[in-house]
Amino acid sequence: GENVEQHPSTLSVQEGDSAVIKCTYSDSASNYFPWYKQELGKRPQLIIDIRSNVGEKKDQRIAVTLNKTAKHFSLHITETQPEDSAVYFCAASILSGGSNYKLTFGKGTLLTVNP
Amino acid sequence: NAGVTQTPKFQVLKTGQSMTLQCAQDMNHNSMYWYRQDPGMGLRLIYYSASEGTTDKGEVPNGYNVSRLNKREFSLRLESAAPSQTSVYFCASRLDDRNTEAFFGQGTRLTVV
């Protein structure tokens, strides 16, 4: 099936620790893997993305790694801060039918950073 | 430059009523999407339009219809609302459906009683 699995569903860390969220996908034709952050009552917003021709991408405290062979990708947040507390979603751009791609999301991870 | 605009922000319907959720983007994007968000279920794709003139079913299309009115607008219609359609609905748009960022509207909180 064309789905994206995300783990864990909840994650609690102490301020300053690292947080890792993992996702797997089923379609080997997938070529784009974004991560979104959603604060309570707000819309999802992109924090980082990676394309299939790259294995790792970093932006300050946030990094994403992609293993195309194993079909999994991960979000790494270092030196976590209370304002990192939110729901994080992974997604994959999955080929559907003929030549169209759809953006499919994982079920989300509620990250809580304790002061 | 407003981005993606959804209307209404809140709506209460009675079972069996119909309504249309409106979505418009001013970024000249080709691809548009409708998602619903329920607790613990993430963002589930209802319908999408990879480009003007095309629409396709997503993961949970039953009970919904869509219209890609033009390049800017993509509406979602509930013909006969059911309590199971109580949810938060998000519209999103992308420059194309390959490997570009999706921008979301502010969401519509729909309650069906």
Tokens of B71: 């390049």
B40, B41, B102 ranked by CB distance to A103: nearest: B102
- HSE-CB for A72 with a 13 A CA cutoff: 11
pLDDT at A3: 84
pLDDT at A1: 44
**B-chain residues within 8 Å CB-CB of A45?**
104
Low-confidence ranges of chain B (pLDDT < 70): 1
Q: Which is more confidently placed, A1 or A48?
A: A48
pLDDT at A2: 55
- What's the rounded Cα separation, in Å, for the pair A57 and A76? 10
pLDDT at A110: 97
Q: Which residues of B touch A (CB under 8 A)?
A: 33, 35, 40-45, 48, 50, 54, 56, 58-59, 90, 92, 94, 97-102, 104-107
A6/B42 touch (CB, cutoff 8 Å), yes or no: yes
pLDDT at B1: 67
Tens-place pLDDT, residues A20-63: 999 999 988 888 999 999 999 999 999 999 998 889 999 999 99
Q: Residue A9 pLDDT > 90, yes or no? A: yes
Tens-place pLDDT, residues A66-109: 999 999 999 999 999 999 999 999 999 988 777 788 899 999 99
Q: Classify each residue of A71-83 as buried b or exposed e, where b means 16 or more C-beta atoms within 10 Å of its C-beta.
A: ebbbbbbeebeee
